[in-house]
Every structure is written in C-alpha cells, then in structure tokens.
Amino acid sequence: MSNEFQTHLPPISEIWVYLSGSPLLALVLTLSAYLLGLTLYERSQRNPLANPVLIAVVVVTLSINLLDMPYAKYFEGAQFVHFLLGTATVSLAIPIYKGFASLKGRMGVLLLSLVAGGITSVFTAVGMARWLGVDASLVRGLVAKSVTAPIAMGIAERVQASPTLTAIFAVSTGILGAILGRYVLDALRVTQWWQRGFALGVAAHGIGTSRAFSVHPEAGAYASLGMGLHGIVGAVVIPQAVAWWF
C-alpha cells in the first residue's frame, strides 16, 4: 500500500461524491446511452423495435437505479439536454417550410385528412383506455400521444398531464405506427407515396417519419409535413378540446 499513486489519489468515495454532484455524470450517461441506442438501431437495419430512445431510456433507468441516483438528481444534470426541446420545436419550421414546396395544391385535402386523423387519434385512445378501465391519472397522458414528442410535452403541461407519460406514450405510438403502418396502408390499398407518408407522419410523428424516409423520399417529405402540421394544429386545438371534454 506504499504505492506512490495511492498518496495522490483521493479515496474512490470522494471522487464519487464530486462526480455525482456535477451535471456531467447525468449528461455523459444520457449521451452515451443515446449513442449506444443509435448504434444498435443502425446495426439492426433500422428496425423500429430497436428504437434508440427506448434503448437509451432502459439503459439510463438501469444505470441510475444501480448508482442509487434519484430521478430528480439525474434530471438536474440532464436538463441541459431537455432544454433544447424548445429549440428543436422551433426548428421544425424548416422541414415544414421545405415540405410546402412539394405540395402542388394539395393543402386543403391534407388539412382535412389531418384533422380527421387527429380527432381519431385522441378519441380512440382516450375512449379505449376509459372503456378498459385504465387509471384516470394515465388517461390524460394519452391525449397528445400522436403529436411529435417535443410539442406533445408542451401540450401536456397545458392539460395537466404528465410530460413524462406523454413522452413515453408518444414514443410507443411512434414505434407501433412505424411497425404496423404499412400493413394498414396495404390493407386499405393506399398506393401513392405522398398519401402513405402523410398518414404515417400524422399518426406516428418523428418515428413514423424516419420510417417513411427509409422507404421513399416523397413519403418522407410528406411525413415530415404531416408531423409538423399535426404539431401546430394539435398545440392549438387539443388544450381547448380537453378543457371542454374532461
């Protein structure tokens, strides 16, 4: 134990106290879990089941459990990542603007279908959940789940729903939509790429959009547009509708 290094190194517990007091630990944990998720997603040929968020959430959850770090403590560090959600929402204007360029006068048709799809999404989810006797505290989290997660979480705060539950339901919806979407579209014999893409964007936001892009660029462009428009319309309409319905 007369090793020279020993005298210079503080005990491991002291290093640990220092590290867990700084936001770096939570940041490194979040970013590396995301990178791991991204790598596994690419390795699986972008299988929607290997969703990077899902993988990252499982890894972070297990890690903070193992480290005995309470969620509030973790979030204190990870909030720097969380903050950029607002900036990302603003950035959604870019794909929407680019999508407008490829519209060719379809705006009316797209908006009508979007509103019908949005209403279907809220009523089927909340209706089913109530019918199956889901705990009332969870039902509100379902209201915005077809809207892209950054906007959905903003809506959640306005309808007294938990942003966390909303994010989880939004991510699950995206994954389900990316997996099931093509079967529904094939069964309905919807063959036009723009129609297939738009429906995926409306129902399954970002995850559906990335799925659409991997199938066909036109489907991807319309999926971004569907996701973006659903975000804007949802943010305006959903809080009003909830105030009236709940």
Partner 1 sequence: MIQGLVQLFIFQALGELVSKFALPFIPGPVLGLVLLLAYLSVRGHVPAAIDLVGSGILQHLSLLFIPASVGVVLYLPVLQANAWAISAALVVSVVATVAVTAGLLRVLAKKESTHE
175-204: contacts with partner 1 (CB under 8 A): 176-177, 180-181, 184-185, 188-190, 192, 195-196, 198-200, 202-204
**Closer CB to partner 1, residue 12 or residue 235?**
235
**Closer CB to partner 1, residue 8 or residue 189?**
189
Judged by CB under 8 A, the stretch of 3-11, 13-21, 146-154, 211-219 that binds partner 1 is 146-154
CB atoms within 10 A of CB 94: 11
Footprint on residues 16-35 left by partner 1 (CB under 8 A)? 26, 30-31, 33-34
The string over 69-79, giving b where at least 16 C-beta atoms fall within 10 Å of a residue's C-beta and e elsewhere, is: beeebbeebbe
Q: Which of 53, 161, 212, 219 binds partner 1 (CB under 8 A)?
A: 53
Give the nearest distance from C-beta 241 to partner 1 in angstroms: 11
Residues 234 and 240: their CA atoms lie apart, in Å, by 10
Residues 210 and 41: their CA atoms lie apart, in Å, by 12
Give the nearest distance from C-beta 149 to partner 1 in angstroms: 5
Judged by CB under 8 A, the stretch of 2-10, 12-20, 106-114, 212-220 that binds partner 1 is 106-114
**Nearest C-alpha neighbor of 67 from the set 100, 105, 133, 20:** 20
CB atoms within 10 A of CB 56: 21
3-state secondary structure of 243: helix
